[in-house]
Structure 1
């Protein structure tokens, strides 16, 4: 049920210093942090001796990568289920279900091989329980990643959608940093032979879903969802938690107009994934966005951070501390992402980000080669510049690629396809990262530092494809972004430079007096 209307038009009765709008951002940010926490959690668990003994696997076994990567398959399936539930029952019920599923999966992971007397393989059942837990948790987190960007975007103004989502993804990095810090702390304190050194970071993750499930009832449901279900009274009540009654009525009229314009235009996955479908073009942009993000290689860097630093010549302990430092820098540099994404634009950040990453990985190939093949070169001559380069590469990814590919699918679809579009984004993200995280350990063992060169090449491709085919969706209403695809059909081209005279290569420049109608009207604009 929606919250009772706020008498102050957006104030919060829970946290007086926060408006209801801020509560939405804070909730969404904490939910997105779940994914980051999992990455940081598994990065040191993979090298814990007790964990490896419990799972009955060797450190260099491909099963290490399978346990990590199977989570992403769960994410892909969870995205489909959650998006269907979000359209059928609402964004909030879908999010709550995903949080409960995440909690269950986390518990299964925690109890895998659990024994008060020490490590126990459960007669071979521990790996099965771990794999089941990873899949179940993936179902929940994948659903969260599919629905939260939609929920947040539908409650953000046109000029602030990027800022809101980038702030949420900064919390993603906070989750990663939090997990890795706890993991490193208990590893130093208890040692890699202790089972609690890998179980404690797992169970701490329960704080996220429990906290979020306890406060979700305080948040408004998306008014756009209510309007799609012709529940105008509920939409009005939801708006009144954000606005005064007078302003809520005005926004309701605008949403009604947008709904009337889209009525009858139901969109299914066939329309999105089959050539000739009404939403095939935006779906291909969504698909390639996630493929290209995976090709940047940073899913691997996040999960296997310590191993990356070891390729530069550091011993295990130094590599672990440097990974922590890299994550701290990552978190801080994400401030630049939410400050620039609505000013510079999504497209430019991604293109220049890919170019920067390709350069950094090419340089890292050189440093890795020197570290591994030229022992006469002083260690510090490689370790210091190599570390700086990796820190710079991480910052570039955070600013250019982390949030942008999640934001674009929430901006380029009509309301009738937005949840499905976000689901497609998570599905491809899951499948692509499944492949990357599965193959990365194999790459470490066989390619060594040449793996950096592979990432340099894949980043070059990602940058080229983005420059060629990804339109700039920032600063435009949902309806305005639809015009790009209409023009692409008329012009017979997907090339951004050729569609509508290259209008969508850059952010638009608008007069403040421009009138807004339909979905161009923001829901969370601050009143003057």
Structure 2
């Protein structure tokens, strides 16, 4: 019954999914902790204090620094050791947060800030290393599917945290200390699961070849892909390495969905719902988020990264513009005698729709593209650059969101509509399609762009990288990649093909 668990690629997906779930758990964890009165009292702040946003946002500064350190470590010591060091750091930071205010009440705020930063170091490192680790162990035409499946676990982590938050908050009340400490300490389940599965996973063959460990690379290939393909895959990796020796993540933050994830209940309150209903509607939104992520891993290798990003940004811009109108009507309902259902129900529908669009179009591709366009020798560091930009952008978004809530109210949605427009335009112009191409083929875009003196995707190599590689039929009617003749017809989810 559980025979599929013995498959190495399945184990890689499950391990990486658990690691990525840490990020989602933190978002769901802080959303209701921010409104717990005992927590606010322990930290010595009020609910409207800008320090609420600072506590949330310093985590992203830690993520930026952690991405840099972890990527360097992963390039030197290996992808797998890098993952485990980051897990240990995230667990330590979580425990520091859990202990904030115990023993030294006057140091609670400082302890919480330190815990948030240390946890950010670990999670930021995971965000940089795990996508690289997964992409180097996945088939070229299934990298997106694999990472999308893992990011669905990210949303599962968010849901777990929010459900735990809801349960303890409604059981103990917003004045109870354990209503905010319990969700924090429950995060330790993830490091325990990761350490338990540590011995089952190999290092990536690409990293081993890069460091001249061909014998170990053979063993890794055999464990993941099977003994029968060892020689062919090793030769491919060696040739790719020899060729390498010869030769925007900010947009995801601009979508504004980081604010929706962390401050979901406050957004529904802005649409006119009282606190308890807003929290329950938020929980429903997160569960819907989890379900809609299925479409992400179904579509990402079929339609491509660029297709999802551009269309996602377009619909998010429209959604936030509509939410701005609905928010304005909700805040002026007494003045114009507008019933709550007239703004609340459409608001729920639109925000749920925006959640689905973000999950399908913008959650996974910004993490995936950097792992596909950098050469092996710089892949972890290239991924880290993206996480650094993402971390700094999210630091600004989560820091400013509560301040802007208090000062701009529903006009905040209009800002997100504008930033999504910027994200969509820049992606359309400058983001090449990297899906289903080999790592080496994706390097052609940058070589050609440098030769032609333009980074506009529409112009480079006559727009060759605007979409997925076209297929042509061979004599037997099988779908073939026009670029390299590789059979590109099967695009089942990774778990289905490797089971």
* TM-score in same-fold range (> 0.5): yes
SS at match of 2:140: coil
Pick aligned residue for 1:84 from 65, 69, 72? 72
Q: 1:314-338 deviations in whole A, cap 9, x for unaligned?
A: 0000000000000000010000111
Where does residue 453 of structure 1 map in the other structure?
414
Where does residue 475 of structure 2 map in the other structure?
none
SS at match of 2:373: coil
Pick aligned residue for 1:470 from 415, 431, 434? 431
Distance 2:101 2:442 in 1: 51
1:114 Cα offset (Å): 2.7
Where does residue 415 of structure 1 map in the other structure?
376
RMSD of Structure 2 on Structure 1 (CA): 2.0
Q: 1:170-222 deviations in whole A, cap 9, x for unaligned?
A: 11000001100000110000000000000111000000012102212210110
SS at match of 1:473: coil
CA, structure 1 residues 16+309, in 2 after alignment: closer, same or farther (shift >3 Å)?
A: closer
State the 4+ residue runs in structure 1 displaced beyond 6 angstroms: none
Where does residue 325 of structure 1 map in the other structure?
284
Where does residue 175 of structure 1 map in the other structure?
157
Deviates more, 1:365-374 or 1:174-183: 365-374
| 1:141 and 2:123 matched | yes
Unaligned runs of 5+ in 1: 1-11, 116-121, 266-288
In the TM superposition, 1:127-166 aligns within 5 A as 127-166=109-148
Q: 1:25-47 deviations in whole A, cap 9, x for unaligned?
A: 11111110000000000000000
The answer on whether the counterparts of 1:336 and 1:399 sit within 8 Å (CA) in structure 2 is: yes
Where does residue 343 of structure 2 map in the other structure?
382
Distance 2:413 2:11 in 1: 41
Q: 1:428-467 deviations in whole A, cap 9, x for unaligned?
A: 1110000000000001000000101111111111111111
1:52 Cα offset (Å): 0.2
Pick aligned residue for 1:353 from 312, 315, 322? 312
Where does residue 282 of structure 1 map in the other structure?
none
Where does residue 242 of structure 1 map in the other structure?
224
| 1:103 and 2:64 matched | no
Where does residue 112 of structure 1 map in the other structure?
100
1:527 Cα offset (Å): 8.6
Aligned residues: 484
In the TM superposition, 1:270-285 aligns within 5 A as none
Distance 2:138 2:447 in 1: 25
1:246 Cα offset (Å): 3.0
1:487 Cα offset (Å): 1.3
Where does residue 224 of structure 1 map in the other structure?
206
The structure with the largest helix share of the pair is 2
Distance 1:382 1:263 in 2: 59
The answer on whether the counterparts of 1:254 and 1:517 sit within 8 Å (CA) in structure 2 is: no
Q: TM-score, normalised by structure 1?
A: 0.89
Q: 1:383-402 deviations in whole A, cap 9, x for unaligned?
A: 10111111001111111100
The answer on whether the counterparts of 2:429 and 2:458 sit within 8 Å (CA) in structure 1 is: yes
Distance 1:243 1:480 in 2: 21
Distance 1:260 1:346 in 2: 28
| 1:93 and 2:52 matched | no
1:510 Cα offset (Å): 3.2
Q: TM-score, normalised by structure 2?
A: 0.94
Distance 2:355 2:225 in 1: 39
